Amino acid sequence: MPTINLGPASRRLGGALLIAFLGAALVFFVMRAGHGDPALAALGDQATPEAIAAFHKRWGLDAPLVVQFWRWLSGALVGNFGMSMTVAGGVPIADLIGSRLPNTLFIGFYAMAIAVAISLVAGTVSALYHGRFIDSAATGIAVLGISMPDFWLSYVLVYLLALGAGIFPSYGFVSPGDSLAGALYSGFLPAFAIAAPMAASFTRILRTALIDTLYRDHVRVARSLGYSRAFVFVHYVFRNALIPYVTVIGLQVRYLLGGTVVVERIFGIPGIGALLVDAAFGRDYGLVQACALTFLICVLIVNFLVDLLCAALNPRST
């Protein structure tokens, strides 16, 4: 019998799909177990039994739970999450998410780009000059950065750069669909607030990985063969050090997307994070489910891409 060799990429894809399915099940059943009847949430505690029964019939809630889950999931697969009940009465949840997801993704990518840019420079410099003043200074700033939660840093930034210096707006966001320059400008402070703690941890991992690689035998051999310091650094040190660096970046994606929740709220960015908070306050359970699942899928997609990138950087791992 011929064996089918599913490549590592497709095996990872399968794993990601399994997790997405489990995540959908978790979100659906945990929410239902915690809150029982959506009819009570929508109609209030004083609803008459007749009204509740009518509500059940209308939304298909009289079917067994597994059937309901199947309907919800098959709807979700084609982008139909049902209607928002309290936050935006009667608007399809998919429309809400579709209009807000680009803003969250924009802030997420923006923050990631800032964190990567800062950490590449700071990590390389402090590894090359490790033990010297500039390294200690970078390490000190990094520890401070990790010790500033994003919502606290947001206010420091607003106070200094928006209210104080007046360089950036303190509130509001121009959607990247309307104006990319406007989005880059109005999104800088929120993106930076999310990026700073991440830049700190990226810098430290890159620094450690670079220093660790600098003393490996293959590097010493390359130097003894007469290759220049710069050449050896780029080709023999940096590439090896990128593997742990990219891995950590992949792991941090979930913190990054988590960070958007608070920061979107502070800066008034209409994204999924702010939507999730509204849904949580409004007890719009269908919307909470859909937002949580959207976040999960974003993380899975990014992690899948990071895995591919790691495999490309390190052929030994496959």
Partner 1 sequence: MRAFFANKLAVIGAAVTGFVLLAVIAGPWVLPHSPTEANFLALLEPPSLAHPFGTDSFGRDVLTRILYGARVSLAVSVTGVLAAALLGSAAGLVSAYVGGWTAAVAMRISDLLFSFPSFVLALFLMVVLGFGIANIAASIALIYLPLFARLARNMALVVKEEPWVQAAQLMGQSTFSILTREILPNIAAPLFVQIAIGIAFGIVIEAGLSFLGLGVQPPNPSLGTIMADGREYFQRAPWVLTLSGVAISIALLGLNLLSDGIRDVMDPKLRARL
The site for partner 1 (CB under 8 A) is made up of 15, 18-19, 22-23, 26-27, 30-31, 33-35, 130-131, 143-144, 146-152, 155-156, 159, 208, 211-212, 215, 253-259, 261-262, 265, 273, 276-277, 279-281, 283, 285, 288, 291-292, 295-296, 299-300, 303
Q: How far is the CB of 136 from partner 1 (least distance, A)?
A: 10
Q: Across-strand partners of 83?
A: 92
Rounded to the nearest 5 degrees, what angle is found at the Cα of 297, between the Cα atoms of 115 and 283?
A: 100
Q: How far is the CB of 206 from partner 1 (least distance, A)?
A: 14
Q: How far is the CB of 10 from partner 1 (least distance, A)?
A: 17
- Residue among 174 and 204 whose Cβ is closer to partner 1: 204
- Residue among 94 and 253 whose Cβ is closer to partner 1: 253
- CA nearest to 34, candidates 275, 296, 295, 288: 288
DSSP state of 79: T
Q: How far is the CB of 266 from partner 1 (least distance, A)?
A: 8
Whole-angstrom Cα distance, residue 202 to residue 116? 7
- Residue among 138 and 256 whose Cβ is closer to partner 1: 256
Whole-angstrom Cα distance, residue 312 to residue 318? 9
Distant-in-sequence, close-in-space partners of 207: CB < 8 Å, separation ≥ 6: 122, 123, 126, 127, 130, 135, 138, 139
Collapse the DSSP code of 318 into the 3-class scheme (helix H, G, I; strand E, B; otherwise coil) and give the result: coil
Q: How far is the CB of 314 from partner 1 (least distance, A)?
A: 18
- Residue among 194 and 232 whose Cβ is closer to partner 1: 194
Query: Residue 233 is inside which H or E element, if any?
Result: none
Whole-angstrom Cα distance, residue 168 to residue 163? 8
- Residue among 246 and 292 whose Cβ is closer to partner 1: 292
